[in-house]
Structure 1
């Protein structure tokens, strides 16, 4: 369809030549005079006043307050009815004076502002005058044109046959021209219904107003509708171009997408839309004489502004702007020719008279092409955008997959770390609970420790004080034997106190980790014999028989001396404590599988299985009681266990109730040298 439109647009170039073809051989002269100049004065005017029309046959005074007079001596090639046509229908008043020989002049009136009663104008879009000439008869024609619009006059003389031949051809081209605008209007509506692109609605408004304007400028409105409505013809000559300019600015603003491409230009062009309506109030005040020149100036300025806006956004990379600029070339170019002719800047020619009509037709077609080009460009950009979006989405999917895998790995890693942290926390919790339990036990043992220390130290200390007081009071009354016995009692109580304090200090050092063993090679046979000798006096006091059995007199061990003495002393003293009077205590040392085995067996009450499980704990008190009233802190066996294990050995007990108890200690011999 667009190819057909282009073909129709190119054919518009033929309209102007068709409109001006005639076999007019008349030579026209013109003169510019004040409006007050009468026909009689013009008729008698000197020859110097008159100027020959240019070769184009067009007179152009532009905007002027004077009137134009044209004259010619006309002898037709064909007698009969003659037609004078003015190819510009936009004249207010036109008067034709016809002089035949010496007869009075005949007068014909034209122009759309002439009173209807005086008009002798046929129904036609241009100004035409009819008159008759006899064969061989000549006539002098005077034509007076008075208008507030540009004085642009193109007179043509025809015979009737010539006129109808030219008129028929011209009407065909006018029909094609008007049909072009109608077709483009329908095309824009269908395109809008298909694409819903608001540019097509703007284009429709512009086409409609531009088509109405062109038909009004070509005289079709005067011919078809407004023959007896000069006011409406005058009003429409301002209203239609004003509205057409406003819609052109609106179309340019929206087509070039100035709101996004250049907000400053968008604001400026929007103001131009409203400013283009300025000729309307000017018309209301000063009429067409003021509004039409202003409209020409405003049209040039605002059209130039839309061209500048198109160049600006095109330089910024907005490709549809190139279609807009190409479409504006014929429209703006034809408008400049028309305005230049109106102001007398350009020499009169068919282009200055009808260039705007030709440019409007070509521009309308080019704008349709521009819209189609923009639509194709936008569709291409949209397809490219869709492709880019799909590529971006695919890339995003890949990134998401990679991120998901990385996230899953991080979740697994975090889960593992969390599990490790939870395990560590559980371990710490268990450790804290164990520590708390241990601290609680230590706290309880500390309390028991203080209670035992206070209790166990109170009796011997009190006994020492009592014996000391008695000794001091009765020192002179007692004999030497009794004094020595009391001193012995004091020493025994002091030794008991020392033993209690030593055990308490040892257990405290053990628990605090400050107890250090210093192993050295020792003859344990001699040490065991020495310890037994030290306890024989105590055994004799309870009528006990201490029996020692040694596998060798020189059995060597590498062990801390203090630790060994602590072990032997506690075990032998316990056997003495719990053995009834008159019984035996068996102490033996044997070598067995690289170990030294110490055994201390008594014939006391024995130990139950239940109490055997608590033997080596601190502060343990058994149900059995010492047979001689001896003191017990409950720490001796726990010290034995620590010293034995710290020396790499083992300690244990074998006992049954009523059958005594056997304690054994197994110590590794190790390197004795």
Structure 2
């Protein structure tokens, strides 16, 4: 199908007549779908250099969307971007479909430099430059014409939704998106717990089956749209695919069991009973196939079952409604909605529809409405049972009147049984009302009591520190305050790391190295004094002018001095020295710690690396400090060197470029920066 599609467009579209997408600084969002060109590589053997030489073989993609169903080919996508302004435009390139096995993005800047990212849902989350459920890449566009090449290959369906955002525009867009998903998750979880309570109160397994169906539906959609992958399987991509297929199979299994129990389908309904038993067996086999590590095949088969299942359930519901079973009214409406949603989403998943927006939200909206309608059906089930009881009682009364003399004893026993059932049903209704009231009160209390808890704890602890005179109580208050502040600081640090990674090309400027060192020294001196460590400073003076950025210089100095104090034993010495050469200023920090072995020195600049050396004062370590130092040095054109000897100590040297009026700094190319910080 995809080959016929491409061949058709090749006849009608000329790649050479394409126009560049002009970047408007005032525009928060740019849809790149309308200016996309593609090339299909069935062999999958072409390299980026080969693709650059085949620009004239790309064809214009359709404006209806980049959706190509299941394909074994490698697809290359190409975009032209033109940035007319002198000021660098910071943008984020977003690909909205989260289930793509492998992506390689190449950014060719006007000067010919190439920036490369490699990621995908088959790779660890750490390969993603921006941590998000979908794929996002920071793109810095200086003045001129840029080219973007995207290489994609995937075992599943291949869908691409390409958008270019300003950071603030994407943040606002994702805020609304996350709000909608939050409402959806909230509704599904409330329905799950609510039906567990009702099922426990009524001792009716129908409610349990419905609750399990809703839970696995929620899990399947959260994996499908990337949220669960982000939260739970970020570092186990194989588990992500396994859980998607497994939860989808369990969703089918529990919905079939729920419908069969709800409609009371038994052997007396021959064709319906056989249909449901067959589908239940198929769903069970899907679970076994997933456990047998055939999740890719199960996922494709699940798409077809997702198309067949709503049709079968809708047909059964309609047949029961025609037969006069009024309790299936909401049931029919629920499966009619789900039929439309799954039919559209399934065909889109197979590449037959091209609208990414509808494909993304069809299951979310359809399943939400379906679950609400099924809740109405379950609520109506109680009324139906009450009417059935009343009808039975009336029929029984007539039978008793007709056969009073012969069956008086039996009639009395039946009447007592009816009375007992009436009392049980009344009790169940009372318990149900109590549960509803308790749920409302619980929701209100939680919403009221969870407002800004961390800020409240910190504020009250600080007030106790100021007013408490007893040393022991004051110590407890200080501990509470310190733990709360540490928690808030940890969150802040993680956000700062994300912000640093977004800052790919900050403009270098004239900075005074001594000025930033003087600002940081007082705090580090207090920390050193608390451990009995002496700080020696040599060469500090005004006019140590270097190329750099405020954030970069402070991050480098702060982390290196902090590490030296952290790993130096008490009553030792830490030396800080600034030296000048004809074209550089050399900043060095020497400690008297235990030193670093060869293995530590090979991996010390990696992200979240835990080295063999341990802090001497019980301090904590996140494994991000040296990664940030290396990253910021590369962006400022500085070089960092480590000299270490076991049981003697470690010295870090940072060679900053001296600021020279009229000259330009030498900065490492972006592609080399990427390789050195992996």
**Contact kept in structure 2, 1:253 and 1:270, CA below 8 Å:** no
1:306 maps onto 2:313 in alignment: yes
**Shift of the alpha carbon at 1:226?**
1.1
1:143 maps onto 2:144 in alignment: no
Structure 2 SS opposite 1:95: strand
**Contact kept in structure 1, 2:128 and 2:135, CA below 8 Å:** no
> What is the match of residue 331 of structure 2?
324
Query: Equivalent of 1:251, from 258, 279, 297?
Result: 258
**Shift of the alpha carbon at 1:398?**
7.9
Change (3 A) 1:377 1:217: same
**Shift of the alpha carbon at 1:112?**
1.9
Q: How many residues align?
A: 377
Q: Structure 2 CA distance, aligned partners of 1:53 and 1:141?
A: 18
The 5 Å alignment of 1:175-574 reads 175-259=182-266, 262-283=269-290, 287-397=294-404
**Contact kept in structure 1, 2:40 and 2:74, CA below 8 Å:** yes
Change (3 A) 1:190 1:365: same
The 5 Å alignment of 1:53-64 reads 53-54=62-63, 56=64, 58-64=65-71
**Shift of the alpha carbon at 1:146?**
1.3
> What is the match of residue 30 of structure 1?
38
In structure 2, list runs of 5 or more residues that go unmatched.
Answer: 1-26, 409-678
Q: Structure 1 CA distance, aligned partners of 2:376 and 2:407?
A: 45
Per-residue CA shift, 1:535-592, capped at 9, x if unaligned? xxxxxxxxxxxxxxxxxxxxxxxxxxxxxxxxxxxxxxxxxxxxxxxxxxxxxxxxxx
**Contact kept in structure 2, 1:113 and 1:230, CA below 8 Å:** yes
Q: Structure 2 CA distance, aligned partners of 1:139 and 1:45?
A: 17
Structure 1 SS opposite 2:156: coil
In structure 1, list runs of 5 or more residues that go unmatched.
Answer: 1-20, 402-673
Change (3 A) 1:337 1:138: same
**Contact kept in structure 1, 2:76 and 2:150, CA below 8 Å:** yes
Structure 2 SS opposite 1:164: helix
1:95 maps onto 2:104 in alignment: yes
Structure 2 SS opposite 1:125: coil
Q: Structure 1 CA distance, aligned partners of 2:266 and 2:31?
A: 58
Q: Structure 2 CA distance, aligned partners of 1:395 and 1:294?
A: 59
Q: Structure 2 CA distance, aligned partners of 1:25 and 1:312?
A: 46
Q: Structure 1 CA distance, aligned partners of 2:92 and 2:200?
A: 48
Change (3 A) 1:261 1:362: farther
**Shift of the alpha carbon at 1:396?**
4.4
Query: Equivalent of 1:39, from 48, 57, 65?
Result: 48
Structure 2 SS opposite 1:277: helix
**Shift of the alpha carbon at 1:66?**
0.9
Change (3 A) 1:260 1:322: farther
Pairwise CA RMSD of aligned residues?
2.5
Q: Structure 1 CA distance, aligned partners of 2:50 and 2:264?
A: 61
- Pick the structure with greater CA Rg: 1
- Bigger mean CA deviation after superposition, 308-317 or 76-85: 76-85
**Contact kept in structure 2, 1:262 and 1:313, CA below 8 Å:** no
**Shift of the alpha carbon at 1:154?**
0.8
Query: Equivalent of 2:130, from 122, 125, 128?
Result: 122
**Contact kept in structure 1, 2:314 and 2:336, CA below 8 Å:** no
Structure 1-normalised TM-score? Answer: 0.53
Q: Structure 2 CA distance, aligned partners of 1:130 and 1:246?
A: 42
Q: Structure 2 CA distance, aligned partners of 1:40 and 1:286?
A: 36
Q: Structure 2 CA distance, aligned partners of 1:86 and 1:349?
A: 11
Change (3 A) 1:163 1:318: same
Structure 2-normalised TM-score? Answer: 0.52
